[in-house]
Amino acid sequence: MFFITYLRRELRRRIRQAVFISLGLALGIGLVVTVTAASAGVKKAQSDVPSSLYGLGTDVTVTGKPPQAPAPGKAPPSGATSLQIGPGGAKICQNGTCSNAAGQTIDHLSSASYSPIAQSKVAAVTKLKDVKAAAGGLVLSDNSITIPRNLGKPGSGSPLPTPNSFNVDGVDTSRLPLGPLSAGTITSGRSLKSSDANSDVAVLDSGYATSHKLKVGSTVRIVGHSVKVIGIVAQPQGGSPPDVYIPLARAQALGTDGGTSLRGDVNTIYVTAASAADIPTVQQETRKLLPGDTVTTASSLASEVTGSLSSTARLANDLGRWLSILVLIAAFAVASLLTMAAVARRVREFGTLKALGWRTRRIIAQVIGESVVMGLIGGAAGVGLGFAGAAIITAIAPKLSATIASSTGQHIVSLGTGGGQSFAPTATHTVAVPMSASVTAGAIAVAVLLAVAGGLLAGSFGSWRIARLRPADALARVA
């Protein structure tokens, strides 16, 4: 009891010193909490992008290997539609047969981003030991290009047309809890259901529906087929969701890949592990089962996103971490120096205590106790500053952008005197991601530990100074 009473009295008697030490620690800890909150917000935004793309509960995603674009000078694969641009104008070619493309619109649906996977593989993945559930999907792209009449002709100056594309996702209606549609919230109409397996119906992403002025009851056209809109879905912010969701069977019937039907095929498999600890095992098992396909986890999918979101993540993880460490070192150094200076000014006091029979270790314990209390006060103030910093970041931070590139499935061949060149244009999807810094329980725990550590460090330096103090010198200053 005397220890606490004496400690409280000494802190009140040296209130200015206690405030300075606590404030220094508070600034350092507050910056750490703020940076940690910002980093947590960025990580959450990164995790929201794959969640909206692949759905809630998806631990492992299997996608067909992206097909290789034809090498320069080589023709596209057999059955694929290509646009050839030469001095005589633009031509559409397929299987060696070409026709004049002037003024025409090329429109086709393909799984250009991923190569097909046999649908029977979904059942094989489901049977793996640590897999809880698996569902197949078909990610397609409807691409159309309107060819200018003078494209390629000498002196025309007509630029290469920009593909107009939207994403179509074939959803397994018998396993709706898995896949990208599971992450959304129906805002109008209804979602797909098992009885829609062979129906020409669609659910639209809310952003796509708004930008194209579509609603429940409207009709969208997918490679010339009319599909009725039965629902509008809002996906979590921070993702690049598909534009149109249709039943998997209808997507397989409509889609072709290089002129080959996609019936009986998928190009994406969504997998849920039995537990979070089983995810690495499921990833390894799936890679053994499907060695030619791409197997990724939700965390690795986040690394594929580019744009200001990934740049901010690197900034928060690298610059923010080192800045926090430097400020903490400075705060701890100031606290230690102030404590050592205070010990030097209290030599007469310590001499009196020794004269009263206090041992050195008891005086050291008293000084360390005072330092730890000041550290805890600084830690509490630092947590408050961290909450304030997180609130400021959330209020003033601009929206970040996440960009995901995907193939359009178009193959363009440019013919010239120096030889032909072939390339496949890509379409990018950029979305705004709100920045929301959040202080987690882990950040508060770190702040408490740092506060105790700072107090102990400052007290240790003060104790070192006391240990060097000879009793004779201390007693000589007693009045």
Helix, strand or coil, per DSSP, at residue 93: strand
- Buried (b) or exposed (e) across 229-245, using 16+ Cβ within 10 A? bbbbbbbeebbbbbbbb
DSSP category for residue 306: B
Residue spans of the domains in the chain: they are 2-45+316-399+434-476, 99-292
Helix, strand or coil, per DSSP, at residue 83: strand
CA angle 394-396-400, nearest 5°? 75
As given in the structure block, the two tokens for residue 468 are 């060097």
User: Between 414 and 475, whose confidence is greater?
Assistant: 475
pLDDT by residue (tens digit) across 188-219? 999 999 999 999 999 999 988 998 999 999 99
pLDDT at 241: 75
Amino acid letter, residue 358:
W
CA angle 232-233-236, nearest 5°? 155
Provide, for the chain, the percentages of residues in helix, strand and coil under a 3-state DSSP scheme, each rounded to the nearest 5.
45, 25, 30
pLDDT at 171: 92
pLDDT at 439: 80
Q: What distance in Å separates the CA atoms of residue 141 and residue 228, rounded to the nearest whole number? A: 18
C-alpha closest to that of 399 among 41, 34, 51:
41
Angle between helices 441-467 and 319-345 (to 10 degrees): 30
| Beta carbons within 10 angstroms of residue 69's beta carbon | 17
pLDDT by residue (tens digit) across 37-47? 777 776 666 65
- Alpha-carbon separation of residue 387 from 21, 438, 448, 449 (angstroms): 21, 8, 14, 17
Q: What is the mean pLDDT of residues 397-419?
A: 49
Cβ proximity of 314 and 70 under 8 Å: no
Work out the end-to-end distance of the chain between its first and last CA atoms, rounded to an integer number of angstroms: 28
Q: What is the mean pLDDT of residues 375-382?
A: 84
| Beta carbons within 10 angstroms of residue 212's beta carbon | 12
Mean pLDDT of the chain: 74
pLDDT at 76: 52
Residues for the chain: how many in total? Answer: 479
The dihedral of CA 57, 59, 62, 68: what is its sign? positive
